[in-house]
Amino acid sequence: MVELEKARERSTRVRGLRAGRHVSPTRTPQFAGSFAALGRLAYEGAQVSANVLDLQSGQTLVSIDDRIVLPTASIGKVLLLIEVSARLTGRDFSGYGILDKTPRDSVGDSGVWQHMQAPALPVADLATLVGATSDNLATNLLLGRIGLDAVRARTESLGLTRTALLDVVRDTRGPDDAPQLSVGSTAELSWLFGALARGEVVDSITSQRVMSWLSLNCDLSMVAAAFGLDPLSHRLPDHQTLLVNKTGTDTGVRAEAGALRGQRAAVSYAVSIQFADDNLETRLRALTAMRAVGEELLEYVH
């Protein structure tokens, strides 16, 4: 009986996947393939959320459970970069200020600084590492300098109520630690990347600096896998395609938010999926669905 109720709930959720409010009901909606791909995952029991905004018109092109809060892993580091950039703009500290590695900040997984010999780096270089490789060690050093409270205050000042960086990066999370590094709603994350692209987060200089750091991101394994860009070099338009994005990866979590510009249009987007990461096939289905969204994004902007 419990399984039957769960199946009914999944079916209801899949039927509820909808296009943006501005899509005409008299024609085939845009992003039909995205709805179908994410709907299949939802039917299998995954939690899916997506939002796409046209940056010129402000129209909502995709809205799939975009108000729910899901784990977003490293995407929350964007909030840290915004605070770092705001402080550099306000000259609260120098981008050349040196921060030293300490054993307390040691952490594995993503990033390259843990594999480098340099015992210290400037603040601006640490932010570059976070933008390029989601560097966990650099993240923890910057958080140690700035503090989570300051990042939370900045997040609230931007009007974000469902998106937050909750903790430092940890190799293991105990019962007294935040259960996730970050959480967010795709509606807020899509809005945030649109605001960054328009230079509206704090001010234009602060926004442009954050976008510059994120333009180095070398993870194009999810939505951006459909764009055909060089993961290590895509700061300039390539075939009239320009991308700035941030991804988040954890066990059972795949998330991406970004801004994409083509020859015809520009969009901001966010996709989050939480799934039972029991086997490789399940994980690959999640990544395939994200790429399906990317394919239709690329078609839209061109």
Q: State the CB neighbour count (10 A cutoff) for residue 300.
A: 20
Any idea where the domains of the chain sit in the sequence?
A: 2-301
Mark out the alpha helices in 71-185 (DSSP H runs): 77-89, 123-133, 136-146, 148-157
> Who wins on pLDDT, 117 or 294?
294
Taking only the tens place, the pLDDT of each residue in 152-175 is 999 999 999 999 999 999 988 888
pLDDT at 85 over 80: yes
Within 13 Å and on the Cβ side, how many CA atoms surround 67?
0
pLDDT value at position 74? 96
Q: Which two tokens stand for residue 153?
A: 């205050």
Tokens 């054993």 correspond to what residue? 103
Q: What token pair was written down for 1?
A: 């009986």
Please, which pLDDT band fits residue 25 given cuts at 50, 70 and 90?
very low
Distance, CA of 141 to chain centre: 21
With contact defined as beta carbons under 8 Å apart, do 47 and 9 qualify?
no
pLDDT tens digits, 234-278: 999 999 999 999 999 999 999 999 999 999 999 999 999 999 999
As a whole number of angstroms, the distance between CA 222 and CA 216 comes to 16
Q: Which of 127-136, 148-157, 173-182, 258-267 has the lowest mean pLDDT?
A: 173-182
3 state DSSP class of 96? coil
HSE-up (13 A, CA, CB side) for residue 152: 9
Q: What's this model's pTM, rounded to 2 decimal places?
A: 0.89
Cα dist. 267→60, 133, 219 in Å? 10, 23, 19
Domain 2-301 has CATH 3.40.50.2000: no
Report in angstroms the alpha-carbon separations of 220 from 108, 149, 265, 279, 301: 21, 31, 21, 22, 18
Of 75, 220, 88, whose CA–CA distance to 160 is shortest?
Answer: 75
123 near 93, Cβ under 8 Å?
yes
pLDDT for the residue 176 = 84
pLDDT for residue 35 is more than 70: yes
Which spans in the chain are helix H? Answer: 2-15, 32-43, 77-89, 123-133, 136-146, 148-157, 186-197, 204-214, 280-301
Per DSSP, 226 falls in state: G
